[in-house]
Structure 1
């Protein structure tokens, strides 16, 4: 089976980003080892995540195709709440960009009204997706086995994440021509959900489940509300 060229580009981009994160993490870890041990240490961390984005709670005839990716980065301020500093609260600020390849066509007519239809099997198209860009505020309860001298440790971070969607794009390329819409009102500007990070040292599994729909209440598909929300599954990397 041949892999489309643009998929190879995405895969190479992910590989380069992973190598960069691992390289930076090694440098920071070495610098920290050389510092005087601090009994009042914090796990203040930059983070970078890569996810596969899934549209959940979707109609039966709505499907995804290709790789729907997400990139997430930011900083979380660590605030320990016990003497051993193995438990903490975290609050941060981040940025998230997400794409969703699917068969839902979003279009508008000459009067500016938007329509939402499922592309039939007979339609030929090379691209149909929507993308979002968000500013995010993660709130976390953090448990870890770290000490002032141990930088390889287990962690479980659970939390809640607020996101403000400040930009969106929809793109279609196919038999119907090229359709591109920017910053339409179909998307919920405020998005929020539950997050979980579990892992050891650099490698951590990351899951985010949205608690509210991607689209606003007035977005209808065949007369029904399009109450789709998102599930993001991937890896997250922390850098001290």
Structure 2
């Protein structure tokens, strides 16, 4: 997704968020909270192969948005279950080269800086997500400012992936590499007050399948995402 589009979407959601502070609202005893979300994360690679020299060398970003149906489970309505549908795109900038050979298989190797120079090397994913949350908050029917703790799981279907290298080996681009796991899932936690909320995702399933190997070992890397999430009614 191009940067201007991301900036435009963030601007629209930010306007909606802050408009809640100045817009009057009819008291609703059956109110619901935080049904739309938008967020950005810094993506880390966890469980990297030992002694392989794999490292991230720039800022790897994630962008997330979606809808969660808020279903209160107590009379005060400060506890609820949330089930939703969302989309995210995630990039991982690192020093692992993904290259296809003459047989159509993909090989994975660490780039030797003494032999190969490059200006870009990353892989990315586009994911359709199903968040499931237990939600606790200090909200009321008339208050927009409250504490929240939301925790749960997020199931993901990777419907597209891409690898891109630009450097002394030329320009290598590959789409929909079969070595990526199609289904991914992990634990989530959102904690914050009012507009600002910290978001953490810890992946429980590897990014790559067993067919992807580095130095003869399976690429069992998972993803850890840390960032900010904004909620809109």
TM-score (norm 1): 0.91
- CA-based RMSD of the aligned residues comes to 1.7
1:5 — aligned with what?
none
2:207 — aligned with what?
214
Q: Deviation at 1:66? A: 1.1
Q: Distance in 2 between matches of 1:154 and 1:206?
A: 14
2:91 matches 1:102? no
2:48 matches 1:58? yes
Q: 2:30 is matched with which residue: 19, 35, 40?
A: 40
2:113 matches 1:121? yes
Q: Deviation at 1:20? A: 3.6
Q: Secondary structure at the residue paired with 1:187?
A: coil
Q: Secondary structure at the residue paired with 2:91?
A: strand
Q: 1:68 is matched with which residue: 40, 60, 63?
A: 60
Q: Which has the higher helix share?
A: 1
Q: Secondary structure at the residue paired with 1:43?
A: coil
Q: Report if aligned partners of 2:126, 2:160 keep a CA contact under 8 Å in 1.
A: yes
Q: Distance in 2 between matches of 1:230 and 1:221?
A: 17
1:166-191 Cα deviation digits (max 9, x unpaired): 00000000011100000010100000
Q: Distance in 2 between matches of 1:14 and 1:91?
A: 25
Q: Deviation at 1:22? A: 2.0
Q: 1:111 is matched with which residue: 103, 126, 133?
A: 103
Q: Secondary structure at the residue paired with 2:154?
A: strand
Which structure 2 residue ranges, 5 or more long, are not aligned? none
